[in-house]
Structures are given as structure tokens and as C-alpha cells.
């Protein structure tokens, strides 16, 4: 299927491949977007999507962690990944000649990871440190408090990192079953743009993707339920971190565009109303901004301010 110069392929297992050639460019960007993240976890599995994203880099397709990193970076490319509430993402950028290897490694990460038991135990310790680091960063941790207050007893109200308690029971077999479901091919779109042609991308991708068996995937998560409330955590630090969250529209709602525009006007930069009034005119906060986080069936519009704890009432 051709879409204004782009070509979309759909494989028998449901995976989609979108190619956007850019003649004259000598590089490419690859983005494998998986419709699956922390929102699809049970409470007992909290943090598993993020743990899985870490674990696939510990060994996949016959390469260990070092070989996976060096295969891309020693050729001048970059590779990264991230986990959100609704999506997991794998990214590679590099010279166009690196594309076949990039496709091989990304498909290995998604479908041919090893999930070694010893590596799993070590990685749990690494993520435990990441959890502590987030807690020790108040202007990060405050958003976990806000999510929990807005979405109690829901996956989007729990930290993406999970907790040491929820990560502890994760064993290789259980994580493999979770991976097969979360990374089901029909929930994945691989997008490639740059100095490539649709034909050469398909030729490189077909032998890597065709053998992958279809999987059932997760059912749709429970509908979002926004709840008004508040949360306060007192800590012996000098700054107060304030957040306000409002229920908002989802990413496909027509109002998402005007909402984003409103957010830019209100708190999108140094010329925004909040920055000019709260920081420049009144000196109440060092950092203040607004943000929009849309999900499939709802979202959040929020405001953040970091101010001296003695000024927090004025900031309110």
C-alpha cells in the first residue's frame, strides 16, 4: 500500500512495516513502536514491561549485551529503547548501509531475546537502583504521586518502573510468556525513514519477520477512570514540588490539537503566561510549565512548579 510516497507492508503475522524514502539522504531512522507498555500489566506484574525492555538488551539473537551495543555503535550508529504506559519503543539511527543490521538486531530484541536467569537477577538490582534514583529526585517522584492520585487502583496510576516487590517474582519463563503477549507481531509497527528504498527494506525485513509466529496479544486495558483528589509527601528538602492534574482528551480526539496549543500558551516556554507571571513578575518559582499526556481513551493536562517551600501557598 502506497501513502503519499510512503509504502506500508503488512506481514501474515500482522506486523506492519512503513517505509518513507528520502532521496539524497545518506542516513536512516528506524523506530519499532509496540502497542504495549505498563498499562497492560496486572498489579502483580507492575514494572515488567520496563524490566523486559532492559532484559532484551542482555542477550538476543546469539549476541550478548556488549555485542548488541557494539554492533551498532562501532559502525557510528545509535540504539535506544523506552517504555511508557501504552507503548514500548526501539530506535536505531545510522548510515544507510547499517539498515540491514539494524533490522536484524531490533527484531532479535523483540522476538529472539534470551532472558537468562542470572542476567535477570542482576538487572533487577539495577532497576532497584533506578527506582531509588527516581525517589531521590523529587521533581521526578512528584509525578508518580500525581498519577497515583488521579488514577487509583489502575495500571496508569502505578510507576512504570514498578517496585522491588512486584519485580521480585519475575522469572525467565514468566517473563517469556509476558514478552510473547506484549510483543505480539500484530501490535507492532516498524517505521523506517531516510536514504532507503521500500524494495531494499522489504528484502532485508522479510526473512527476519516472516518466520515470527502470530500471538494473541493482550486484550484492551480497562477504561481510564480519572479521580479527583490530592497527595502530599513531606520530605526534608528545601524545595516544594507542586503538580496539578486535570482529566483531558485522548490522542485521537479532535480537541487534542487545541489543547496542546493552549498548553504551549499557558506553560510551554519562557514566553508562556505561567513563566512570565509566576517567575518573571513574581519570582515565585524557578521552574514552572504545563504539559499534555494523551492516552488512547483519555488523558491528562498538568501544571508543574518547583518553588521554595515557604512560597508554596503563593504558588498555589
The whole-number pLDDT of residue 4 equals 78
Q: Which residues are marked as active site?
A: 53
pLDDT at 2: 61
Identify the segments of the chain with pLDDT beneath 50: none
Residue 35 is assigned to a structural domain of this protein: yes
Domain count, the chain: 2
**Strand partners of residue 119:** none
Torsion of CA 294, 297, 301, 304, to 10 degrees: -70
Q: Are residues 128 and 244 in the same domain?
A: no
Distance CA 192, CA 201 (A): 8
| Same domain, residue pair 155 and 96 | yes
Tell me the per-residue pLDDT of 104-157, one tens digit each, with 9 for 90 and over: 999 999 999 999 999 999 999 999 999 999 999 999 999 999 999 999 999 999
Instruction: Identify the CA nearest to 243 among candidates 310, 309, 288, 292.
Output: 288
Render pLDDT for 235-253 as a digit per residue (tens, 0 to 9).
Answer: 888 889 999 999 999 999 9
Residues 108 and 157 grouped into a single domain: yes
For 122, the domain range is 2-209
- Which CATH number goes with the domain that contains 295? 3.30.830.10
Q: Does residue 228 belong to any structural domain of this protein?
A: no
> Three-state SS for 236?
coil
- At 71 the pLDDT is 96
3-class secondary structure for 26-77?
A: CEEEEEEEECCCHHHCCHHHCCHHHHHHHHHHHEECCEEHHHHHHHHHCCCC
Give the H or E element holding residue 129. Answer: helix 117-135
Same domain, 120 and 11: yes
Residue 203 included in any domain: yes
pLDDT of residue 132: 96
**Count of CB atoms situated within 10 Å of the CB of 37:** 23
Tell whether 224 is covered by a domain. no
CA distances from 272 to 23, 88, 130, 269, 307 (A): 39, 32, 33, 5, 17
Amino acid at each position: 500500500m502506497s501513502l503519499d510516497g510512503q509504502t506500508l507492508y503488512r506481514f501474515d503475522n500482522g506486523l506492519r512495516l512503513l517505509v518513507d524514502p528520502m532521496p539524497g539522504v545518506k542516513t536512516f531512522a528506524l523506530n519499532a513502536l509496540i502497542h504495549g507498555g505498563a498499562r497492560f500489566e496486572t498489579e502483580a506484574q507492575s514494572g515488567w514491561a520496563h524490566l523486559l525492555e532492559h532484559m532484551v538488551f542482555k542477550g538476543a539473537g546469539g549476541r550478548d549485551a556488549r555485542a548488541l551495543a557494539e554492533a551498532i555503535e562501532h559502525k557510528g550508529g545509535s540504539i535506544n529503547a523506552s517504555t511508557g504506559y501504552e507503548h514500548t519503543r526501539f530506535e536505531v539511527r545510522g548510515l544507510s548501509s547499517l539498515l540491514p543490521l539494524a533490522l536484524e538486531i531490533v527484531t532479535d530484541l523483540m522476538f529472539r531475546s534470551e532472558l537468562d536467569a542470572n542476567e535477570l537477577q542482576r538487572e533487577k538490582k539495577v532497576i532497584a537502583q533506578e527506582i531509588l534514583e527516581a525517589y531521590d529526585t523529587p521533581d521526578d517522584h512528584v509525578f508518580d504521586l500525581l498519577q497515583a492520585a488521579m488514577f487509583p487502583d489502575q495500571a496508569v496510576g502505578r510507576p512504570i518502573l514498578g517496585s522491588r516487590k512486584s519485580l521480585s517474582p519475575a522469572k525467565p519463563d514468566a517473563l517469556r510468556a509476558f514478552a510473547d503477549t506484549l510483543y505480539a507481531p500484530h501490535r507492532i509497527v516498524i517505521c523506517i525513514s531516510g536514504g532507503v528504498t521500500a524494495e531494499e527494506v522489504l528484502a532485508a525485513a522479510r526473512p527476519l519477520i516472516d518466520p515470527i509466529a502470530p500471538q494473541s496479544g493482550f486484550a484492551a486495558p480497562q477504561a481510564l477512570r480519572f479521580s479527583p483528589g490530592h497527595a502530599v509527601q513531606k520530605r526534608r528538602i528545601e524545595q516544594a514540588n507542586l503538580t496539578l492534574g486535570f482529566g483531558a482528551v485522548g490522542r485521537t480526539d479532535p480537541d487534542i490539537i487545541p489543547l496542546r496549543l493552549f498548553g504551549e500558551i499557558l506553560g510551554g516556554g519562557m514566553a508562556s503566561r505561567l513563566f512570565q507571571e509566576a517567575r518573571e513578575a513574581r519570582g515565585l518559582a524557578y521552574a514552572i510549565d504545563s504539559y499534555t499526556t494523551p492516552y488512547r481513551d483519555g488523558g491528562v493536562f498538568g501544571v508543574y512548579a518547583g518553588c521554595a517551600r515557604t512560597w508554596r501557598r503563593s504558588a498555589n
